[in-house]
Copies of this chain bind each other. A is one copy, B any other.
Amino acid sequence: MTTAQSALTQLKARLAEVADLERVGMLLAWDQEVAMPRGGAEARAQQRASVERLCHERFTDDRVGELLDAAVAETPLDEDLLAVTRRDLDKARRIPGDLVAELVHAAATGHEAWTKAHAASDFTPFEPFLRRNVELRRQYIACFPEVPRPYDALLDDFEPQMRTEQAQDVLGRLRDGLIPLVEAAAGPPADAILQGSSFPVDAQRGFVETVLRQVGVDDERWRLDVAVHPFAATMGLGDVRLTTRYAPDDLDSLYSSLHEFGHGLYEAGIDPALARSPLQGGVSSAVHESQSRLWENMVGRSSGFWRWGFPHLQAAFPDRFAGRTWQDVHRAVNAVRPSLIRVTADEVTYGLHIALRFELELALFEGDLDPADLPEAWNERTRAYLGLEVPDDAHGVLQDVHWAEGLFGYFPTYALGTVISGQLWARINADVPDLEERLARGDFGPLREWLAERVHRHGRRLTPTELVARAAGGPLDPEPYLDYLRAKLAGSAPLVG
């Protein structure tokens, strides 16, 4: 074996160990949300910190850099592995250990402060914690002096290699396209068929399981559990875990399950050859979100889905849906109704919630918005985009936990993912012209296969830009998504009955 070959082998072994530790960290987090008795919180925090620290140490260790310099790729896969590892290592090494520790600590204390402030609906005591997070993120940005704009450094953590300018352009066009749609949709209140306290949790669970089995979940490789804040986590090949939550008075459990299924299916579809390497994972937050939004919205709110699903819904809740039709449900799940809370927003207004947050983040890091002035700026934009008055901070600036944890640059990926889902959906329907009929028969196979081939299997081998260009046929573009919404709202789309 040559020195270069030996270096490559040793590097892969070290990266595999780091990948194992990352998955172990995910299991610790999954278990904490799903299984752990509350009394285990303190020990778990220490276990997670130890695993994260070791994971960071083993990756940023000088030895990894030496092996990376000595290794020579033998295959195209190796080339991708070395390129992604170089990029990850360069980023990880830029951040001083002290700053990493401060960011982690500020996230934890910020979360705690937010919990109290949110419960009291009072921004004022939370403001110093938010200010601290902003300051620390400025220090983080300073570790990347070469980026053209400060926000670029934040965005890059979630959307590798995307520039703020592009995000601004795409989200601006999305916002401008959504506002008239929301105005046009304003009308009589939607049918209350999906509201009111009569969805027994056991029946919901049975219905959700029926849907998940049909779209592609099996007991051999998946689990479904309950969590307060639903999420998906992949522990390794053949071990994908979804969570949802059941409220007695709505069917949000279905949509959160389909959303997390989209995330899980992405991870489950990554080429097994990438296992235990930095290439095993979703390529960006937006691409990940494109998968969850596609299953939640494009599939879960389609007429095809409900033509298949309605009899199962009726069987689960016979009293509730006696004498109703799939069209009633389809109409209800597509109702547009401006509201104050992002996580329960409808498909159309959701993008405006994101545009608002993205613009405020830009103003905080690149403009002259002071953290103290956030509530006012928030309420102003809510008035402008959604036509609503914010009654209190809990229904306004305090509703999301992201900023409390120092997560800036994350929000835009929700809307960028939605944009990508629109582009993919247009391509899928062109490639599989009878898709709606197939969904109506409960045949989700062709959709899964299309996504696996075009998106999932690549893992992190392509850049997000390359992936979107290949899968969607061009750069990020909100028009296909806006067209999809326009067609649905006009009731004329092939997918709307």
Interface residues of A in 1-56 (CB under 8 A from B): 16-17, 20-21, 23-24, 27-28, 31, 35-44, 46-47, 50-51, 53-54
Q: A28-B27, A37-B219, A37-B220 are in contact. Are A54 and B235 (CB under 8 A)?
A: no
- Chain B residues closer than 8 Å to A44, beta-carbon distance: 235-236, 239
Inter-subunit contact A24/B28 (CB<8 Å): yes
Shortest CB distance A306–B (Å): 29
> Which residues from B are CB-within-8-Å of A40?
221, 235-239
Which A216-274 residues have a C-beta within 8 angstroms of B? Answer: 219-223, 235-240
**B residues within 8 A CB of A89?**
none
Q: Which residue of B lies closest to A223 (CB)?
A: B37
From B27, B31, B39, B239, give the contact of A39 (CB < 8 A).
B239
What is the interface size of chain A, counting residues whose CB is below 8 A from a CB of the partner?
39
Q: Is the CB of A50 within 8 A of B20?
A: yes
Q: Is A461 engaged at the interface, CB distance under 8 Å to the other chain? A: no
B residues less than 8 Å from A37 (CB atoms): 219-223, 238-240
Given contacts A17-B50, A24-B24, contact A43 B222 (CB under 8 A): no
Q: A276 contacts the other chain (Cβ, under 8 Å)?
A: yes
Chain B residue with Cβ nearest A272: B42
Q: Indicate if the CB atoms of B47 and A20 lie closer than 8 Å.
A: yes
Q: Please tell me if A401 contacts chain B, counting CB pairs below 8 Å.
A: no
CA distance A237 to B31 in the complex (A): 15
A275 at interface by CB-CB < 8 Å: yes
CA distance A275 to B43 in the complex (A): 9
The secondary-structure label for the interface of chain A is helix
CB interface residues, A 149-198, toward B, < 8 Å? none
Report A232 CB to chain B, min CB distance, Å.
14
For A219, what are the chain B residues with a Cβ–Cβ distance below 8 Å? 37
CB of A484 to closest CB in B, whole Å: 34
Complex contacts, A42 vs chain B, CB 8 Å: 236-238
Q: How far is the CA of A361 from the CA of B307 in the complex (A)?
A: 67
Using CB atoms, name the residue of chain B closest to A222: B37
Q: A27-B27, A31-B27, A31-B31 are in contact. Are A21 and B39 (CB under 8 A)?
A: no
Complex alpha-carbon distance, A43 and B275, angstroms: 9
Known A-B contacts A50-B21, A51-B20; the reply to A223 vs B43 at CB < 8 A is no
Please state the number of chain copies in the assembly: 2
* A43 in contact with B220 (CB, 8 Å): no
The verdict on A238 contacting B35 (CB below 8 Å), with A24-B28, A47-B24 known, is no
Distance (Å) between the CB of A349 and the closest chain B CB?
37
Q: Are B39 and A51 in contact (CB under 8 A)?
A: no
Report chain B residues within 8 Å CB of A275: 43
- Chain B residues within 8 Å of A236, by CB: 40, 42-44, 46-47
Assembly CA distance A325 to B21 (angstroms): 55
Which chain B residue shows the least CB distance to A39? B238
Chain B residues in 8 Å Cβ range of A220: 37-39
Rounded to whole Å, the gap between the CB of A298 and the closest CB of chain B is: 27
Closest chain B residue, CB of each to CB of A225: B35
A276 lies within 8 A of B46 (CB)? yes
Q: Residue on B with the closest CB to A47?
A: B20
Measured between C-beta atoms, what is the minimum distance from A55 to chain B in Å?
10
A242 to chain B, nearest CB (A): 11
Q: Which residues of B lie under 8 Å from residue A39 when comparing CB positions? A: 220-221, 237-239
- A219 nearest in chain B by CB position: B37
CB-defined contacts of A50 to chain B, threshold 8 Å: 16-17, 20-21, 24
A220 to B36, CA, bound (A): 9
Q: Do residues A35 and B221 form an inter-chain contact, with CB atoms below 8 A?
A: no
Bound-state Cα–Cα, A24 to B41, Å: 14
| Residue interface mask A298-335, B partner, CB < 8 A = 1 | 00000000000000000000000000000000000000
Closest 10 CB pairs of A and B: A43-B236, A39-B238, A40-B239, A39-B221, A20-B50, A20-B47, A17-B50, A39-B220, A37-B221, A43-B237
Residues of A within 8 A of B (CB): 16-17, 20-21, 23-24, 27-28, 31, 35-44, 46-47, 50-51, 53-54, 58, 219-223, 235-240, 275-276
Of the A-B pairs whose beta carbons lie under 8 Å apart in the complex, a sample of 15, sorted by A's number, is A20-B50, A20-B51, A21-B54, A24-B50, A24-B51, A27-B28, A37-B220, A37-B221, A37-B223, A37-B238, A37-B240, A40-B237, A43-B237, A43-B239, A44-B239
Query: Given known contacts A36-B239, A37-B222, A43-B276, what 4 new A-B pairs fall within 8 Å (CB)?
Result: A17-B54, A21-B51, A36-B235, A42-B236
